[in-house]
Amino acid sequence: MAERLRLTITHLYPELMNVYGDRGNILALARRCEWRGIEVREEAATLGDRLNPGALDLVFFGGGQDREQEVVAPDLQVTKAEALREAAEAGVTMLLVCGGYQLLGKFFRTHTGTEIPGVGVLDAWTIAGPRRLIGNVVVRCDWDPQRRTLVGFENHSGQTFLGPACQPLGSVLVGGGNNGTDGQEGAIYRNVFGCYLHGSLLPKNPWFADELLRRALARRYGPEVTLAPLDDRLEVQAHDAVARRARQLRRVRSGAW
Ligand code: GLN
């Protein structure tokens, strides 16, 4: 009989960093595994918990406000930063949203001028900006051979800028993205994906959920791992509905209607 695939999903600071349904990402990943007979173990790593980089498969870090980020950041440095850097270099898959994305960059300078040090997995830095970027976002992933899109909801005042060691997750079709100016959203380094997309993101973007699962499983079981197709009609409808609404709103706002 074929070996039963197993996957551990590690949720960083779930009680502190979880806004706009970010936990839905874990539910979507776990459900898509369950439907395929893949055994999932979900573990939380919060204040004081250390990480074993060799045991990580897929790491999720959600969003939070500056206040929560200031609570989490010192702990992150002491108990998890080194393990996360080691894991990222070893190809562990990570999904980081908003506040979590900012903290895996080099630093986040808040409105009060406090500079919160980041983990430095991503060659990216964030500076609090004068206005909040709020609303639906549609992003085209140019690294994807099919150049598929992601939809999500952003709400951040931090403006993120990318250095040369990471590439953007996508080009912004609708919304603000990383900083509202350069047309880029999110960051990718190896199998680490950072973004500003809440929503939750993965239930409405099933192809991306599977991309993360495939990368995580391939690392443990080899590149020939394939994921059985699922009936994603509802998920695709949800994606398309958000994309349509976002495009209409943009047209209304820009006076094209
Ligand atoms: N504090 C960050 C900002 O506003 C993150 C917000 C979030 O995670 N939603 O830029």
In a domain, 242, yes or no: yes
Kindly give the distance from the C-alpha atom of residue 131 to the centroid of ligand 1, in angstroms, as a whole number. 12
User: pLDDT at position 255, please?
Assistant: 59
Strands of the sheet containing 58-61, edge to edge, are 39-45, 6-12, 58-61, 93-97, 192-195, 187-189
> Does ligand 1 come within 6 angstroms of the Cβ of 156?
yes
> What is the number of structural domains in the chain?
1
Q: What are phi and psi of 145, to 5 degrees?
A: -55, -30
Kindly give the distance from the C-alpha atom of residue 156 to the centroid of ligand 1, in angstroms, as a whole number. 4
Kindly give the distance from the C-alpha atom of residue 93 to the centroid of ligand 1, in angstroms, as a whole number. 22
> Does ligand 1 come within 6 angstroms of the Cβ of 19?
yes
In a domain, 59, yes or no: yes
> Does ligand 1 come within 6 angstroms of the Cβ of 105?
no
User: pLDDT at position 9, please?
Assistant: 98
pLDDT digits (tens, 9 = 90+) for 112-131: 999 999 999 999 999 999 99
Q: Which domain holds residue 210?
A: 6-254
User: pLDDT at position 20, please?
Assistant: 87
In a domain, 146, yes or no: yes
In a domain, 53, yes or no: yes
In the chain, % of residues over pLDDT 70 = 97
pLDDT digits (tens, 9 = 90+) for 201-238: 999 999 999 999 999 999 999 999 999 999 999 999 99
CATH number at residue 50: 3.40.50.880
- Determine the average pLDDT of the residues in 31-51: 98
User: pLDDT at position 132, please?
Assistant: 96
Q: Looking at the CA of residue 66, tell me the nearest atom of ligand 1.
A: 1
Q: Where are the alpha helices (DSSP H) in 168-221?
A: 201-204, 206-221
> Does ligand 1 come within 6 angstroms of the Cβ of 63?
yes
Residues with a known catalytic role: 98, 198
Kindly give the distance from the C-alpha atom of residue 37 to the centroid of ligand 1, in angstroms, as a whole number. 36
> Does ligand 1 come within 6 angstroms of the Cβ of 230?
no
- Determine the average pLDDT of the residues in 123-142: 96
Q: Taking each helix axis from N to C terminus, what angle separates 233-253 and 206-221, rounded to the nearest 10 degrees?
A: 130
Global pTM reads 0.96
User: pLDDT at position 196, please?
Assistant: 98
Query: CA separation (Å) from 34 to 27, 56, 234?
Result: 10, 19, 18
In a domain, 86, yes or no: yes
Q: How confident is the model at residue 157 (pLDDT cuts 50, 70, 90)?
A: very high
Residues 6+ apart with CB under 8 A from 241: none
Q: How far apart are CA 150 and CA 170, in angstroms?
A: 9
In a domain, 189, yes or no: yes
